[in-house]
A = this chain, B = another copy of it.
Amino acid sequence: MEERRQQLIGVALDLFSRRSPDEVSIDEIAAAAGISRPLVYHYFPGKLSLYEAALKRASDDLAQRFVEPHEGPLGSRLLRVMGRYFDFVDEHGPGFSALMRGGPAVGSSTTNALIDGVRQAAYLQILSHLGVEGPPPARLELVVRSWISLAESTALIWLDGRRVPRRELEVQLVHDFGALAAVSAAHDEEMGALLRRVFADEPADGPFTDLVTRLVALAS
């Protein structure tokens, strides 16, 4: 029984990666899984419960991709995570768009809790890589959480036409993180001290040094 449930979730995710979930019917999912429509309803009482189960698996998958060893320069760690993040967005295209733009199940408390859970996983990973333990300063929380929403919207806009190479956006989001942190640091001494500590370990060929080099070239 659990095996059949997992198979159905996999089939649904595969269909949602090619077309928006609200365009995919239970009949199609049944046909793709090679089972009858009533049998699908035996495992999932309605489309929402199948959708939520698929979202749960995709959320767990995405949160797992945020996990990165605490080794090497921070900018390079974040760049590797951005690569895996865009892999995920690329693989789940229409399903990801529909969900984040307000899909059929948005407003369901299960759906909202899963999305919040992924955001929280990203947030906690970043704090741990920054070496922050316990409740962070308000301005650091603001930079990290608002950058996460920037990464979401960047991925959504990219999916709508893919007019900018994703590799460029992966690097750019790492640079955006540095830039937003620098703006915050330019307004607050505590953030300044944190930024100096973090950037002190960045190598000359790392993404954050690359950003500074590029900005200096731009300004001249």
Contact = CB atoms under 8 A, between A and B. Distances in A.
Contacts of A152: 149
Interface stretch (A34-42, A68-76, A126-134, A136-144): A136-144
A148 B149 CA distance: 10
A183 interface: yes
Nearest to A101: B112
A182 interface: yes
Nearest to A214: B186
Nearest to A102: B112
Interface of A: 101-107, 112, 138-139, 141-142, 145-150, 152-154, 157-158, 161, 163-164, 168-169, 171-172, 175-176, 179-180, 182-187, 192, 195, 211-212, 214-215, 217-219
Given A107-B106, A180-B176, A182-B215, A168 B187 contact: yes
B149 A153 contact: yes
Given A149-B149, A179-B183, A195-B218, 13 more contacts: A101-B112, A102-B107, A107-B107, A138-B163, A139-B164, A142-B157, A142-B164, A145-B157, A146-B153, A168-B187, A171-B187, A172-B187, A183-B215
Contacts of A217: 186
Contacts of A161: 138
Contact of A186 (B101, B153, B183, B218): B218
A161 B138 CA distance: 10
A183 B187 contact: no
Identify the 6 closest CB pairs spanning chains A and B, nearest first.
A186-B214, A149-B153, A138-B163, A179-B179, A107-B107, A106-B107
Nearest to A178: B183
A112 B99 CA distance: 13
A182 B178 CA distance: 12
A100 to B, nearest CB: 10
A141 to B, nearest CB: 7
Centre residue among A141, A142, A185 by max chain B CB count within 10 A: A142
Nearest to A105: B107
Given A149-B150, A149-B152, A154-B142, A183 B176 contact: yes
